Amino acid sequence: MNKHVDVLIVGAGASGIGVGIVLKQMGCGNFCVIDKGDIGETFRRWPKEMRFITPSFPSQGFGQTDLNAVAPKTSPAYTLDEEHPTGEEYAEYLEVLADHYQLPLRTKVEVKEIRKHNNQLFEVVTSKGKLCSKFIVWAAGEYQYPDFDVFPGAEHCIHSSQIHSWEEMKADDYLVIGGYESGIDALYQLNRLNKKTRLLAKTATWEIDSSDPSIVISPYTYGRMREALADDRIEMYENLTVSSVRKEGNSYYVETREGEQFTTCTPPVLATGYKGSTSMISQLFEFGEHGKPLVNEQDESTYCQGLFLCGPELRHGSHVFCYIYKFRQRYAVLAEAIGSRLNLNMDILELYQKENFYLDDLSGCGESCEC
Amino acid sequence: MNKHVDVLIVGAGASGIGVGIVLKQMGCGNFCVIDKGDIGETFRRWPKEMRFITPSFPSQGFGQTDLNAVAPKTSPAYTLDEEHPTGEEYAEYLEVLADHYQLPLRTKVEVKEIRKHNNQLFEVVTSKGKLCSKFIVWAAGEYQYPDFDVFPGAEHCIHSSQIHSWEEMKADDYLVIGGYESGIDALYQLNRLNKKTRLLAKTATWEIDSSDPSIVISPYTYGRMREALADDRIEMYENLTVSSVRKEGNSYYVETREGEQFTTCTPPVLATGYKGSTSMISQLFEFGEHGKPLVNEQDESTYCQGLFLCGPELRHGSHVFCYIYKFRQRYAVLAEAIGSRLNLNMDILELYQKENFYLDDLSGCGESCEC
């Protein structure tokens, strides 16, 4: 690993690999992608049974890109023959890409600290030594940092991301806190294993009428929920916000703001979200009212020049970029900003625009369906 | 129904509704969509258990259109909350569209004959009387005309499209002829009902390496096939071309060109394809070596000016348009050709281009994935 690089990409997940490919295609000669684990590490840690909720389909030959692809002319559906890949499978797709595009990549390198002194290079302390970089692309993801600060006693719960396989769940009934995608996935998985399950949801996502899949549950999840509901082992409680979990002896007491109490003998399953990896370098960002980092039109930190953010933590106003098909459209925008400052060859952007991998005008985004 | 129209669209399926919407948006004041049945009639006749193999997902808010949508800013996933709609459900989506866009539509009107005399109007004889039209858009589909001419004795078989529900199949074992999507769907459905099933395939589609889903089976089907194979009730024979089916008493003898013989006590399930509705007006088309109608760059019959073809029968050289996400990109191209001759307002084409609903340059199509 060079001690001095032009661009350091932190994270070898969907975003890190995706941005790495654009930079490589722009002829960037001195950059590096690092990850504290392996390529696609977070995906590898998904529960064994978990699958992509966005379907993959190899339709790129006619200009419709696989929703889960991170680079034009590639498709996980083609690589994997799977419509809803598991995390392990998707990591395999990312590995194939890293290899095909010969990305300069170092795994098992952990970032300990990032410093920047007035308009100088970034100084990055890693588990394998120090390095300097002109630009940093923060692509460290969101889904590996369970948030245990959501309410007092959350530490008594088991976070859905800590479950390696639902088969490990040996009790007969469970209580799930959270009604978004991972909450309903938990419900579905537990139901399949014949567990009785109660789910407490702040919002009845399954009743929302919106055409933005970042707000409502996906058709895949919806179908699975319907399937699970057909059995008789499920109770779903809506409009309940958990205020605390108390443990006494072998019992867990779950209190809600609305004054309801639930008791369970197994640690409640926490499906309430993640902290986001920017919490590790929060001194380099300003944070908006939505709790997410503030970035300019090129996804550069409003507080620290040269630091770019990509991946599911990205927000622009009311636009949430939590799906790959959303945030991948910003790789080329960000790469263009870096490329223009490094005088790279940006001809490749034409392909990105043509293949719907470039979204710089957000004014038309998030519009609802007419029908 | 006016006796004189500018454009007559024959068929109120995906294509008829899709083209109708563009014409309406162009301000075409005098056109009509007719169908011999109801809106989405062919979809309604699908076997009850059959589902779309292309997944629907409401991603249009970020420029990625639902693969099964027939108009920009619409999404069957949004309308139906389904990723893989049944035929009945999809027909419902088409009905919602017809209503929303207030299409001039007449159902239960069957076309008996179309005549055209040198550069004059088309004269169309229907079950509800005669009418005249400047242009005809033939959108009558492909999947309602089972082809029984594939080999001698095919009439002894039951065509997959004649099955209302797989639950009707009461015997214990079946033989399926055909290894494409509908053949493997038959295999999957019969296996679910615990039938023993043998499948005879000319081509082992499940072994082909191509990123064009018109050639290989879809990821959805692939997954179902894997699921079915895990049971032990299936035998798949590849590289066999059936040459005849003979019926003697209660037995069916299936012979192949390769000299193999199979015997079964139930009518073989025929999953070998359709005739295509252009066979009804074959005098108005030239046919290419691929057996499909020849059209110019605007999808107009090379033989009969003013007659346009859209839907799954469309071919351009080696490009097969058998999926909705493929052939829908030609609606606006065709509508542009008609619109320019009728002096319609074509501002709407900008939206179609922006939303990936307009494909006039086929040179980049069908490229394979890099990975």
Same-domain pairing of B305 and B196: no
pLDDT digits (tens, 9 = 90+) for B331-341: 999 999 999 99
Domain membership of residue A249 (yes or no) is yes
Same-domain pairing of B215 and B95: no
pLDDT digits (tens, 9 = 90+) for A225-255: 999 999 999 999 999 999 999 999 999 999 9
Burial status of residue A231 (CB atoms within 10 A of its CB: 0-12, 13-18, 19 or more): exposed
Domain membership of residue A128 (yes or no) is yes
Q: Which of B60, B367, B369 sits opposite A369 (nearest CB)?
A: B60
Helix (H, G, I), strand (E, B) or coil at B84: coil
A113: left (phi over 0), alpha (psi -120 to 50) or beta: beta
Give the pLDDT of residue A288. Answer: 93
Q: Do A60 and B222 touch (CB under 8 A)?
A: no
B254: left (phi over 0), alpha (psi -120 to 50) or beta: beta
Q: Which of B58, B219, B364 sits opposite A56 (nearest CB)?
A: B219
On whether the CB atoms of residues B246 and B253 are closer than 8 A, the answer is: yes
pLDDT at B367 over 90: no
Q: Stretch A138-148: mean pLDDT, rounded? A: 90
Q: Stretch B56-69: mean pLDDT, rounded? A: 94
Q: Do B326 and A365 touch (CB under 8 A)?
A: no
Domain membership of residue B253 (yes or no) is yes
ipTM: 0.93
Contact status of B51 with chain A (Cβ, < 8 Å): no
Give the pLDDT of residue B63. Answer: 87
Q: Do B83 and A220 touch (CB under 8 A)?
A: yes
Contact status of B365 with chain A (Cβ, < 8 Å): yes
The CA distance from B226 to the nearest CA of chain A, in Å, is 11
- Strand-pair partners of A200: A177, A237
pLDDT at A145 over 90: no
- Residues in B closer than 8 angstroms to A218, CB to CB, are 57, 83
Q: Stretch B37-57: mean pLDDT, rounded? A: 96
Q: Report percent pLDDT > 70 for chain A.
A: 99
Same-domain pairing of B305 and B251: no
Q: Report percent pLDDT > 70 for chain B.
A: 99
Q: Do B78 and A369 touch (CB under 8 A)?
A: yes
- The enclosing H or E element of B77 equals helix B76-80
Contact status of B95 with chain A (Cβ, < 8 Å): no
pLDDT digits (tens, 9 = 90+) for A39-60: 999 999 999 999 999 999 999 9
> Of B249, B270, B291, which residue constitutes the final position of a domain?
B270
> Of B245, B270, B295, which residue constitutes the final position of a domain?
B270
Query: In 3D, which of B188, B182, B193, B192 has the Cα closest to residue B159?
Result: B182
The CA distance from A184 to the nearest CA of chain B, in Å, is 15
Kindly give the residue spans of alpha helices, DSSP state H, lying in chain A.
Answer: 14-25, 41-44, 76-80, 87-100, 181-192, 219-230, 324-327, 331-342, 349-354
N-terminal to C-terminal alpha carbon distance within chain B: 52
Domain membership of residue B371 (yes or no) is no
Q: Stretch A340-361: mean pLDDT, rounded? A: 95
Same-domain pairing of A200 and A346: no
Q: Stretch B174-192: mean pLDDT, rounded? A: 96
On whether the CB atoms of residues B229 and B207 are closer than 8 A, the answer is: no
Domain membership of residue A149 (yes or no) is no
**A 188-247 residues inside an 8 A Cβ radius of B:** 211-213, 218-220, 222-223
On whether the CB atoms of residues A226 and A217 are closer than 8 A, the answer is: no
pLDDT at B271 over 90: yes
Q: Which of A58, A367, A371 sits opposite B96 (nearest CB)?
A: A371
Same-domain pairing of B168 and B266: yes
Give the pLDDT of residue B364. Answer: 80
- Residues in A closer than 8 angstroms to B364, CB to CB, are 354
Give the C-alpha separation, B138 to B227, whole Å: 39
Same-domain pairing of B108 and B170: no
Higher-pLDDT residue of B365 and A40 is: A40
Q: Domain range holding B290? A: 4-144+274-364
Query: Quick one: pLDDT band at residue A211, thresholds 50, 70, 90?
Result: confident
Give the pLDDT of residue B125. Answer: 96
On whether the CB atoms of residues B320 and B216 are closer than 8 A, the answer is: no
Same-domain pairing of B356 and B301: yes
Higher-pLDDT residue of A242 and A144 is: A242
Q: Do B57 and A54 touch (CB under 8 A)?
A: yes
Same-domain pairing of B199 and B291: no
Same-domain pairing of B160 and B286: no
Extended beta strands in A222-371, E state? 234-237, 242-248, 251-256, 261-264, 269-270, 307-309, 315-316, 319-320
Q: Which of B64, B78, B325 sits opposite A67 (nearest CB)?
A: B64
Encoded tokens for B79: 């309308």
b/e code A322-335 from CB counts within 10 Å (16+ = b): bbbbbbbbbbbbbb
Q: Which of A61, A218, A359 sits opposite B212 (nearest CB)?
A: A61
| Phi, psi angle pair for A20, to nearest 5° | -55, -40
The CA distance from B177 to the nearest CA of chain A, in Å, is 24
On whether the CB atoms of residues B26 and B339 are closer than 8 A, the answer is: yes
Contact status of B129 with chain A (Cβ, < 8 Å): no
Amino acid at B310: C
- Residues in B closer than 8 angstroms to A212, CB to CB, are 58, 61
Q: Which of B64, B82, B326 sits opposite A325 (nearest CB)?
A: B64
Give the pLDDT of residue A179. Answer: 94
Pairing of strands B122-126, B129-138: antiparallel
Give the C-alpha separation, B259 to B263, whole Å: 13
How many C-beta neighbours within 10 Å does residue A82 have? 23
Give the pLDDT of residue B120. Answer: 83
Q: Stretch B191-198: mean pLDDT, rounded? A: 97
The CA distance from B205 to the nearest CA of chain A, in Å, is 13
Contact status of B318 with chain A (Cβ, < 8 Å): no
Domain membership of residue A370 (yes or no) is no
Encoded tokens for A86: 């598991």
DSSP conformational letter for A146: B
Q: Do A55 and B83 touch (CB under 8 A)?
A: yes
Q: Which of B326, B364, B369 sits opposite A75 (nearest CB)?
A: B369
Helix (H, G, I), strand (E, B) or coil at A232: coil
Pairing of strands A234-237, A105-106: unpaired
Find the CATH number of the domain harbouring A110: 3.50.50.60
The CA distance from B4 to the nearest CA of chain A, in Å, is 31
pLDDT at A367 over 80: no
- Residues in A closer than 8 angstroms to B354, CB to CB, are 364
The CA distance from A243 to the nearest CA of chain B, in Å, is 32
> Of B270, B297, B329, which residue constitutes the final position of a domain?
B270
On whether the CB atoms of residues B264 and B200 are closer than 8 A, the answer is: no
Lowest mean pLDDT among A60-64, A199-203, A294-298, B40-44: A60-64
Chains A–B, number of C-beta pairs less than 8 Å apart = 150
* Helix A181-192, helix A219-230: angle, nearest 10: 40
Give the C-alpha separation, A183 to A242, whole Å: 14
On whether the CB atoms of residues B201 and B237 are closer than 8 A, the answer is: yes
- Residues in A closer than 8 angstroms to B359, CB to CB, are 62-63
Contact status of A65 with chain B (Cβ, < 8 Å): yes
What are the percentages of helix, strand and coil residues in chain B, rounded to 5? 30, 25, 45
Query: In 3D, which of A70, A35, A38, A37 has the Cα closest to residue A52?
Result: A70
Give the pLDDT of residue A142. Answer: 84
Give the pLDDT of residue B266. Answer: 96
What would the DSSP string read from start to end of A65-131? --TT-SSTT--HHHHH--SS-BHHHHHHHHHHHHHHTT--EE-S--EEEEEE-TTS-EEEEETTEEE
**A 134-173 residues inside an 8 A Cβ radius of B:** none
pLDDT at B119 over 90: no
Higher-pLDDT residue of B275 and B66 is: B66
- The residue assigned the tokens 């997940």 is A13
Q: Do B211 and A60 touch (CB under 8 A)?
A: yes
pLDDT at A291 over 90: no
Give the pLDDT of residue A214. Answer: 85
Helix (H, G, I), strand (E, B) or coil at B167: helix
Total number of residues shown for chain B = 371
Same-domain pairing of B163 and B128: no
pLDDT digits (tens, 9 = 90+) for A88-141: 999 999 999 999 999 999 999 999 999 987 778 999 999 999 999 999 999 999
Best to test chain A binding among B17, B21, B57 (most A CBs inside 10 Å): B57
Give the pLDDT of residue A51. Answer: 97
Number of domains chain B is built from = 2
On whether the CB atoms of residues B143 and B312 are closer than 8 A, the answer is: yes
Give the C-alpha separation, A309 to A358, whole Å: 16
Q: Which of A57, A218, A370 sits opposite B67 (nearest CB)?
A: A57
Same-domain pairing of A233 and A279: no
Same-domain pairing of B190 and B284: no
Give the pLDDT of residue A365. Answer: 84
On whether the CB atoms of residues A279 and A145 are closer than 8 A, the answer is: yes
